[in-house]
Amino acid sequence: MARTQTRSRLWAIAPLAVLVFAAWQTATTLSRTPAFNRSLQVETASGGGRPGSFWTMYDRAEYFFWVARGWSYQTFPSYLPGEDGSTERQAALLDRTHRVRDAAMESLRLRPGHATTWMLVANTELTLGNREAALQAWRISHDFAPNSATRARNRMLFLIRFMSEPENRELALATVSPDTIRAELSAMEKSTMTSALATLLAEEPLIANILADQ
């Protein structure tokens, strides 16, 4: 009889235990999102801790991606203070570039396979003069999204910009695989939005030099 009563009591409190556990799990999960934990928020380009759409506040990887993207826009010349070549402008560029990289790397720590975030890293490393790191991030982006026409376009345009400096050009010619370039152009050719550009890029002397290196 006693065992039956004990078993009945256990069954009676079981639903409550499940609810308590579910509430604890929910609270724990929410506490790990920027929306409910201000300590996870960082300064955004627009001020405050919100990078834009409210939904980014519920996914830390997405949150830091949009923080990085927001700061990346602020590195454009039209958004930088001071005159061209001034100390003020250079300091602002470096500060914002580091913010982009820090946020992008935090996003990648949580979501390492995001090709677009890797290109944010590639651009920041190039700005900071880290040529090898920039090319490595470029390659990783390709590895994670080799068939995306828009990402291939962005990567090819980045490579053109990268190779505009003679020292960078030598590094690219020595380390960039022709097969990677062909894969990028092939991905672009499959989209009507990027196919024409793919044809032009294939004839670009900087790219043609890589393709000629069989």
pLDDT in tens, 106-144: 999 999 999 999 999 999 999 999 999 999 999 999 999
Q: Which of 112, 131, 146 is the last residue of a domain?
A: 112
Any idea of the CA torsion for 192, 198, 199, 200, to the nearest 10 degrees? Answer: 120
Q: Quick one: 60 and 135 in the same domain?
A: no
Range of the domain at 73: 32-112
CA R_g for the chain? 24
Q: How many domains does the chain have?
A: 2
pLDDT in tens, 28-55: 444 556 666 767 778 899 887 777 777 7
Q: Quick one: 105 and 39 in the same domain?
A: yes
Provide the 10 A C-beta neighbour count for residue 53: 9
Q: Quick one: 188 and 170 in the same domain?
A: yes
Query: Does the structure show a pLDDT above 50 at 17?
Result: no
Q: What number of residues does the chain have?
A: 214
**For residue 133, how many C-alpha atoms fall within 13 Å in the half-sphere facing its CB?**
12
Instruction: Please work out, in degrees rounded to the nearest 5, the angle formed at the alpha carbon of residue 180 by the alpha carbons of 174 and 184.
Output: 130
11-23 average pLDDT score: 50
